[in-house]
A and B are shown apart, each in its own frame.
Chain A
Amino acid sequence: MIRKLQKLLVPVLSVLLLSGCWSKKELNDLALVSAIGLDKNEKGKYVGSFQIVNPGNVVGGENTGGGSKSPPVTVYTAEGNNLVGVSRNASAHVSRILYYAHTNIVVIGEEIAREEGIMKLLDALDRDPNFRITTTIVIAHDATAEQLINTLTPIDKIPANKILKMLRSTEKSSGEHLEIKTSDVLEALVTKGKEPVVTGIRATGGKIGMEMENIQRTEPSSAIEANGIAIFKAGKLIDWAHGRSARGIVWVLNRIKEADVSVDWNNEKDSIVFEVIRQNTKVTPIIKNGDPEINIHVEVEGDIGEMQTAADLNNPETIKKIEEKINKQIKNEVEKGIAKAQENKSDIFGFGDSFHNNYPNEWKKYENEWNDTYFPELKVNVTVQSFIRRTGLRTKPFLSNTK
């Protein structure tokens, strides 16, 4: 028994001792990169901005004394001929190993997105084992990525978290922006008959955002906000969609969770507000007389959120009329979104892909000229069916009682 154990002890001990804590990295040797910004400078080199968390300044414990004087994140910038080079060059500035597993945001500068496209940038992100392809990707609208990465934000101390949460909440409540993951972009880029969309963000104010003062004010002089949806074609940014047309795009992509739809009533503009609580959009490709067509059917359900005019909601006829108006309004938005895409000749909805799936033989004919010839001319039939589930806590508005 003892001899058997002695024999066993040799391999066990050598495994334990010789391996020597394989790929061990202590937590205090890691620089947690919360966001990466990618730009190109005038020399044609890539510029990477790395937003690194200062853990001690984020966690407001008893010992740190609450409002710390130093910023919660530090930004290091480095340049290089490729992304790995940028990352390696950044190590000259940072005392710790850059750790990308907790990177929540990738910001791509508008300039680089327009001129060079995002194709080349994504390989390094996709290939790196630490980096998650579920990381949210955004485009810096009217700014360099570096500017956005540098902006300090109140409430959510880490700017990357603030951007992420902001995108999630705005996608959920207004439906004009989208949280797009790196993997979504990759998928759209490699699918024929589909182009990516990416939400834009911008920083109000100027360079002031990088000072601590920015978050010590009740109204930050520089704030980050979601702004528009970037439309890509062949990996390059070509246009921005804002407001109603942006929401139209989100409707077609079937990603509306909640939204507000205003309709006119009694000749008063936007006087009734319909709050969407759930919806489902179906996109059906058909081929009619040899030409491709798309049927879009939106089923939407919601409540009345506000009435600035008098209407009798006890009357089913009135409800029906309101519903019809809502249908029209939503149809209008959807058509706007589609028009925006058609005018840019970029099939961001993946209509082509649905033709590919449903009509593989016909698709071969369209395949090569889809974006430039067929998609812009595509006939899209939109039908909307809305349903008012509840009218809120009141049926009759105050306004019907006033003399």
Chain B
Amino acid sequence: MPIKIHRKRNKKLSKKERIQKEVSTFNIPDEMLSDSLKENVEQMKKVTGNSSDLKIRELKGNDFVNLTAVYIDGLVNNQFINEFIIETIFNNIEPYPDLEENKEDLFERIYAEVVASGEVQKFSNWKSVLQELMGGSTVLLVDGISTALVVDTRGGETRSVEEPGSQVSIRGPRDGFTESIQTNISLIRRRIQNPNLWVETMKIGKVTQTSVAMMYLNGIANEEIVNEVRKRLKSIDIDSILESGYIEQLIEDQTMTTFPTLFHTERPDSTAGNILEGRIAIIVDGTPFVLIAPAIFIQFFQAVEDYYARFDIATSIRFLRVLTFTISLVAPALYIAVTTFHQEMVPTRLIIAISAQRDAVPFPAFVEALLMEITFEILREAGIRLPRAVGSTVSIVGALVIGQAAVQAGIVSPAMVIIVSITAIASFSTPSYAIAISARLIRFLFMLSAATFGVYGIALVFIFMLVHLCSLRSFGVPYMAPIAPLSPSNLGDTIVRFPIWAFTQRPRLIGNKNNKREGPHQKPGPPQSRSLKTTADDQGDTS
């Protein structure tokens, strides 16, 4: 036995090493550029495998110097290259006296005077040059100089700013994040025009070299959390990051949970609001979904519109959301419990009505509920995956199969159809898809325990769920804050939403540095004196 264990461990180690090796082969050897233009161009071709989108433009003016511009087609702004690099070089460089001796001088002139771009950098090692090239920059190589000029020419096709698809609001800004990290950062910056809005960018992904930006308000965000986020991002060692979901799964506190411990959004206004509360936005290049850390449970019930609508309306809608979340969790379970264990709980007339419907059904209530729930889940999944042209077929088949035929065939009872429909609609009314999806899973656990223990079982699972929720943390912040641990001054933005003029403090557990949010006496009201009104009227009359 011990030998076996030993061997197993050995094997494990070697596997780990192999992975390490595989990842490192993608690393570009950190070599310096040569001073021969030809050699450099050849090296570049070799490294990129002479890819067809690598464009090499040789500039041989009046036979004075050999210059070559290299860029990747599609990633660059072609017009910019033509106008501000190639054209200016042609126009501004005359035959240079004693070219051979003054090469350095010429190179400096090109760097300082000729290239009309906001960002020109000098690099002499291949790693940086190639990285910039792949990011959309143009590399200018001069014969006889072992340094490359890297001009920022990023451009090419990106999606324009559109209304976000996943978080729609009736009132509020219409812009949503795009796949471009620059656009996304600028969308946030436009909302918070403050030098304290700090951005830290890093490349994550050994192969993909994806740009990931951390954005936070210096002086409001809790430094410990900022450091923690930075530390976790830096420690990611993976080949690729294709969506912010990769990052989310690699930096979350607790993996054994169905509840999301990072919030994600497509809306710049929501992101700005969260940054202002002291949270940190993690923006990943290539996806419109921005991560927000730390996240708390109640945040998933907050829609941006809550803050744009007046507080009485916002509060009642919050209540409704918590109610619908509960419905989507326990409605089928409660139906099972009541019809198989607690028939005495239902009013006589109702139990007779349910009993009449269930008479023809051949399955126990639990099987019936499970059947319907699974059918619904299949329909939902199929509805998402199907191409839009075929999508309506699903709803027709679904409505007919679930709604009518199943009832008429006596396989399910109409009451069950109502329960499943209410559950489905309730789960769609949760503003965050992430939390709705976790409710979807837990619902089956509730159903199982309801079928075993009745309402007692529902209570048990509910207690388990609450204990689990209280045990969760997001970047060290308790998930159920500000309810557990109780922070009375922050309760104004939980199930109720206080008026904006009563939001005097920022969430205490998230940004602990500067909690004051607004000055005193923010509650608006009618003018203090009546004379104010009359004078205004008088002025109006005289004019």
Instruction: List A residues at the B interface (Cβ < 8 Å).
Output: 1, 5, 16, 19-28, 30, 32, 34, 53, 55-56, 58-59, 61, 99, 101-102, 104, 130, 132, 158, 161
- On chain A, the residues within 8 Å of B339 by CB distance are 26-27
Cα of A24 to Cα of B453 in the assembled complex, Å: 8
Q: Closest chain A residue to B344 by CB distance?
A: A101
Knowing that A21-B340, A53-B352, A59-B352 touch, tell me 9 more A-B residue pairs with CB under 8 angstroms.
A1-B256, A16-B449, A23-B454, A24-B341, A26-B339, A27-B343, A27-B354, A53-B355, A59-B356
Would you give the shortest CB distance from A5 to chain B, in whole angstroms?
8
Q: Closest chain B residue to A57 by CB distance?
A: B356
Tell yes or no: B279 within 8 A of A by CB: no
Q: Which of B36-44, B45-53, B113-121, B357-365 contacts A (4 or more CB under 8 A)?
A: B357-365
Would you give the shortest CB distance from B230 to chain A, in whole angstroms?
26
A24 and B340 contacting across the interface, CB-CB below 8 Å: yes
- On chain B, the residues within 8 Å of A19 by CB distance are 452-453
Would you give the shortest CB distance from A2 to chain B, in whole angstroms?
10
A61 and B355 contacting across the interface, CB-CB below 8 Å: no
A56 and B448 contacting across the interface, CB-CB below 8 Å: no
Would you give the shortest CB distance from B455 to chain A, in whole angstroms?
12
B452 and A16 contacting across the interface, CB-CB below 8 Å: yes
What mask results when residues 329 to 344 of chain B are scored 1 for a CB within 8 Å of chain A, else 0? 0000000000111011
A61 and B356 contacting across the interface, CB-CB below 8 Å: yes
Q: Closest chain B residue to A1 by CB distance?
A: B256
Would you give the shortest CB distance from B136 to chain A, in whole angstroms?
43
A32 and B355 contacting across the interface, CB-CB below 8 Å: yes
Tell yes or no: B451 within 8 A of A by CB: yes
- On chain A, the residues within 8 Å of B449 by CB distance are 16
Q: Closest chain B residue to A20 by CB distance?
A: B452
B348 and A104 contacting across the interface, CB-CB below 8 Å: yes
- On chain B, the residues within 8 Å of A59 by CB distance are 352-353, 356-357
Q: Closest chain B residue to A164 by CB distance?
A: B348
Q: Which of A22, A30, A61, A101 contacts B452 (CB 8 A)?
A: A22
Interface centre among A27, A59, A99 (most CB of B within 10 A): A27
A-B contact pairs, 6 of them (CB 8 A): A19-B452, A27-B351, A53-B352, A55-B353, A158-B352, A161-B349
- On chain A, the residues within 8 Å of B357 by CB distance are 59
Would you give the shortest CB distance from B349 to chain A, in whole angstroms?
8
Cα of A104 to Cα of B452 in the assembled complex, Å: 29
A56 and B341 contacting across the interface, CB-CB below 8 Å: no
Cα of A59 to Cα of B451 in the assembled complex, Å: 26
Q: Closest chain B residue to A63 by CB distance?
A: B408
A34 and B355 contacting across the interface, CB-CB below 8 Å: no
What mask results when residues 291 to 335 of chain B are scored 1 for a CB within 8 Å of chain A, else 0? 000000000000000000000000000000000000000000000
Q: Closest chain A residue to B345 by CB distance?
A: A101
A55 and B341 contacting across the interface, CB-CB below 8 Å: no
A23 and B352 contacting across the interface, CB-CB below 8 Å: no
B356 and A56 contacting across the interface, CB-CB below 8 Å: yes
Cα of A16 to Cα of B358 in the assembled complex, Å: 25
Cα of A25 to Cα of B364 in the assembled complex, Å: 9
- On chain B, the residues within 8 Å of A30 by CB distance are 343, 355
Cα of A104 to Cα of B351 in the assembled complex, Å: 13
Would you give the shortest CB distance from B383 to chain A, in whole angstroms?
29
- On chain B, the residues within 8 Å of A24 by CB distance are 340-341, 451, 454
B352 and A32 contacting across the interface, CB-CB below 8 Å: yes
B364 and A102 contacting across the interface, CB-CB below 8 Å: no
- On chain A, the residues within 8 Å of B352 by CB distance are 32, 53, 55, 58-59, 158
Cα of A53 to Cα of B353 in the assembled complex, Å: 11
Instruction: List B residues at the A interface (Cβ < 8 Å).
Output: 256, 339-341, 343-344, 348-349, 351-359, 361, 364-365, 448-449, 451-454
Q: Closest chain A residue to B451 by CB distance?
A: A21
B355 and A28 contacting across the interface, CB-CB below 8 Å: yes
Would you give the shortest CB distance from A182 to chain B, in whole angstroms?
16
Cα of A143 to Cα of B355 in the assembled complex, Å: 32
Interface centre among B354, B356, B365, B448 (most CB of A within 10 A): B356
- On chain A, the residues within 8 Å of B256 by CB distance are 1, 5
- On chain A, the residues within 8 Å of B354 by CB distance are 27
Q: Closest chain A residue to B339 by CB distance?
A: A27
Q: Closest chain B residue to A104 by CB distance?
A: B348
Q: Which of A5, A20, A53, A101 contacts B343 (CB 8 A)?
A: A101
Would you give the shortest CB distance from B448 to chain A, in whole angstroms?
7
- On chain B, the residues within 8 Å of A16 by CB distance are 448-449, 452
Interface centre among B352, B364, B449, B451 (most CB of A within 10 A): B352
- On chain A, the residues within 8 Å of B356 by CB distance are 55-56, 58-59, 61
Cα of A2 to Cα of B449 in the assembled complex, Å: 23
Q: Closest chain A residue to B351 by CB distance?
A: A102
- On chain A, the residues within 8 Å of B348 by CB distance are 32, 34, 102, 104, 161
- On chain A, the residues within 8 Å of B365 by CB distance are 26-27
- On chain B, the residues within 8 Å of A53 by CB distance are 352, 355
Q: Closest chain A residue to B453 by CB distance?
A: A22
- On chain B, the residues within 8 Å of A158 by CB distance are 352
B343 and A99 contacting across the interface, CB-CB below 8 Å: yes
Would you give the shortest CB distance from B68 to chain A, in whole angstroms?
56
Q: Closest chain A residue to B410 by CB distance?
A: A63
Q: Closest chain A residue to B338 by CB distance?
A: A27
Would you give the shortest CB distance from B352 to chain A, in whole angstroms?
5
Interface centre among B343, B349, B448, B449 (most CB of A within 10 A): B343
Would you give the shortest CB distance from A366 to chain B, in whole angstroms?
42
Q: Which of A23, A28, A130 contacts B359 (CB 8 A)?
A: A28
Would you give the shortest CB distance from B152 to chain A, in whole angstroms?
46
A25 and B355 contacting across the interface, CB-CB below 8 Å: no
Would you give the shortest CB distance from B517 to chain A, in whole angstroms?
40
Known contacts A102-B344, A130-B344; is-contact A26 B364 (Cβ 8 Å): yes
Cα of A1 to Cα of B256 in the assembled complex, Å: 9
Would you give the shortest CB distance from B441 to chain A, in whole angstroms?
16
Cα of A130 to Cα of B246 in the assembled complex, Å: 55
Cα of A22 to Cα of B256 in the assembled complex, Å: 30
Cα of A51 to Cα of B134 in the assembled complex, Å: 84
Would you give the shortest CB distance from B55 to chain A, in whole angstroms?
51
Known contacts A24-B341, A101-B344; is-contact A32 B361 (Cβ 8 Å): no
Cα of A1 to Cα of B448 in the assembled complex, Å: 24
Known contacts A16-B448, A26-B365, A27-B365; is-contact A55 B355 (Cβ 8 Å): yes
Q: Closest chain B residue to A61 by CB distance?
A: B356
B341 and A23 contacting across the interface, CB-CB below 8 Å: yes
- On chain B, the residues within 8 Å of A99 by CB distance are 343
Would you give the shortest CB distance from A148 to chain B, in whole angstroms?
19
Would you give the shortest CB distance from B354 to chain A, in whole angstroms?
7
Q: Closest chain B residue to A53 by CB distance?
A: B352
- On chain A, the residues within 8 Å of B453 by CB distance are 19, 22
Known contacts A1-B256, A16-B452, A34-B348; is-contact A25 B353 (Cβ 8 Å): no
Known contacts A16-B452, A21-B451; is-contact A56 B359 (Cβ 8 Å): yes
Q: Which of A21, A28, A61 contacts B358 (CB 8 A)?
A: A28
Q: Closest chain B residue to A22 by CB distance?
A: B453
Cα of A104 to Cα of B449 in the assembled complex, Å: 31
- On chain B, the residues within 8 Å of A132 by CB distance are 344
Cα of A53 to Cα of B165 in the assembled complex, Å: 53
- On chain B, the residues within 8 Å of A22 by CB distance are 452-453
Cα of A102 to Cα of B351 in the assembled complex, Å: 9
Q: Closest chain A residue to B356 by CB distance?
A: A55
- On chain A, the residues within 8 Å of B451 by CB distance are 21, 24
Would you give the shortest CB distance from B192 to chain A, in whole angstroms?
40
Top 7 closest A-B pairs, CB basis? Answer: A101-B344, A55-B356, A55-B355, A59-B356, A102-B348, A27-B339, A56-B356
Cα of A27 to Cα of B358 in the assembled complex, Å: 7
